[in-house]
Amino acid sequence: MTSPAKRRAHVVGLGLIGASLAMALRDAGWDVTGSDIDEHVLNDALREQVISGTVMTAEHELAFIATPAGTVSAIANALLSDFEVGPLIVSDVAGVKSSIVHEVSDPRFIGGHPMAGSELRGLKGAKADLFRGCNWVLTPTDATSPETYSVLHGILRDIGANVVAVSADDHDRLVAIASHVPHLLAGALMNEAADAAEQDAVLLQLAAGGFRDMTRIAAGDPSIWPDVLFENSDAVNSTLVRLEKRLEHLRIALAEQSREVLEESLESASVARRRLPGRALSSEHLTYLRVGVSDEPGVLATVTRAASELLVNIYDIEIAHGIEGVAGTLLLAVDSAQAELFSDALRGLGFGVVRE
């Protein structure tokens, strides 16, 4: 008696995402092979048993292409024509989707984009649970077979992802606003400050929490960005144009001292930001609590231990510093049903607590 043969998957490109995906599938019971243009990476992946082999066969049920956005279409089309017979499903993980789904028109292909990442890079940063709880966008087209979608959806759920289906065009338009343009903005602001700091290093001492928040993503690996931006240049361009208009509008309001325009703009942003879900699935059930704290060692532990003892899950946490100071405020998101209980417990421990 032999156990049933393992399902087989292949991953092209064993960087952070590709290798994490190989590990996630491996841990979900798949036999995972892989390939990479860098022989060292491939050898490392084999040695570390991220993949079991390097050769794709007609028995493979699944292939993920985890290479730079500009190379996906050619690789996908080559795979689809090499393996015309069999149950093959091909998907990718690139951050821009329209051109790819346009160029790979096959019932067995679905574009995908796991909204997961890490400050780390490559095989070394890979981990099997990278996709657990992440939103994984799939962009089916009219060409996609429903069967393909349903099988892929099931596989992604098995590795812990929440599947979200949108059109490739919508995806690209929305990530321009939610990701690509913010990245350019963060870079522009950081460069502006860095230039000013060359004259006046004290600027960096005045750069408080808000500035740090706004420029954090600029610290990431810049090398992946030009391709992503070129692939999505229409949506990025039009978002940038709209944003420049908004800034110009604010600048004019400032010059004209029109308090009303400024207040309205800042107020609507404040309302929208407060409504931004901490996480998609349970946004309406979350309550934000502001807790005044000093940050001696142990304060955070006291707060979180209180949560833990009451079985209160903290969904989100931020420290709002007394700007660069030592004292600050904890912003905690908890289940609304538990907010009162938890607030009372914290007050009992001597903390000031305000519901947002």
- Binding to its own copies (CB under 8 A) within 158-177 occurs at 160-162, 164, 166, 170-171, 173-175, 177
DSSP 8-state code for residue 145: -
How many angstroms separate the CA atoms of 353 and 32, rounded? Answer: 50
Closest approach of Cβ 191 to its own copies, in Å? 5
Q: Which is nearer to its own copies, 10 or 171 (CB)?
A: 171
The answer to whether residue 202 forms part of the interface with its own copies (CB under 8 A) is: yes
Residue of 37, 58, 320, 337 that binds its own copies (CB under 8 A): 320
Q: Nearest-CA neighbor of 95 among 116, 78, 81, 80?
A: 116
CA–CA gap between residue 242 and residue 177 (Å, rounded): 10
Q: Which is nearer to its own copies, 40 or 275 (CB)?
A: 275
Residues 6+ apart with CB under 8 A from 327: 292, 293, 294, 295, 321
- The only residue of 6, 157, 216, 347 in contact with its own copies, by rule CB under 8 A: 216
Query: In angstroms, rounded to a whole number, what is the distance separating the alpha carbons of residues 228 and 224?
Result: 7
Crossing angle for the helix pair 233-255 and 259-275, nearest 10 degrees? 140
| Residues contacting 276, CB < 8 A, separation 6+ | none
Nearest-approach distance from CB 339 to its own copies, in angstroms:
14
Please check whether residue 67 is in contact with residue 36, taking contact to mean a CB–CB distance below 8 angstroms: no
What's the min distance (Å) between Cβ of 85 and its own copies? 36
DSSP assignment of 245-277 equals HHHHHHHHHHHTT-HHHHHHHHHHHHHHHHHS-
Number of chain residues interacting with its own copies (CB under 8 A):
145
Segment 322 to 351, residues that bind its own copies, using CB under 8 A: 322-329, 331
Residue type, 273: R
Stretch that binds its own copies, among 83-91, 140-148, 149-157, 208-216 (CB under 8 A): 208-216
Q: Is 73 an interacting residue with respect to its own copies (CB under 8 A)? A: no
Which residues 83-112 are close enough to bind its own copies by CB under 8 A? none
Separation CA 336–CA 344 (nearest Å): 13
Which of the residues 244 through 303 are near its own copies (CB under 8 A)?
244, 246-248, 250-251, 254-255, 257, 259, 262-263, 265-270, 272-274, 276-281, 290, 292, 294-298, 300-303
Output 8 or 95, the one with its CB closest to its own copies.
95
Q: How far is the CB of 329 from its own copies (least distance, A)?
A: 5
Question: Considering only residues 57, 222, 337, 347, which one is a binding residue for its own copies as defined by CB under 8 A?
Answer: 222
H helices, E strands: number in the chain: 15, 11
Q: Pairing relation of β-strands 328-335 and 314-321?
A: antiparallel
Instruction: Rank residues 216 and 347 by Cβ distance to its own copies and give the closer one.
Output: 216
Candidates 52, 71, 179, 336; binder of its own copies (CB under 8 A) is 179
- Indicate the residue among 10 and 113 with the shorter CB distance to its own copies: 113
* Residue 229 sits in the site that holds its own copies (CB under 8 A): yes
C-alpha separations of 122 from 16, 17, 18 in Å: 4, 8, 9
Which member of 147, 230, 337, 340 binds its own copies (CB under 8 A)? 230
Query: From the CB of 284, what's the least distance to its own copies, in Å?
Result: 12
Of 40, 142, 223, 284, the one binding its own copies by CB under 8 A: 223
Query: Does 190 participate in binding its own copies (rule CB under 8 A)?
Result: yes
Say if residues 74 and 101 touch (Cβ distance below 8 Å): no
The CB-of-60 to its own copies minimum distance in angstroms stands at 27
Task: Work out whether 118 is an interface residue with its own copies (CB under 8 A).
Answer: yes
Work out which of 37, 74, 78, 196 binds its own copies, going by CB under 8 A. 196
Cα–Cα distance between 185 and 243 in angstroms, integer? 10
* Angle at CA of residue 272, ends 260 and 352, nearest 5°: 100
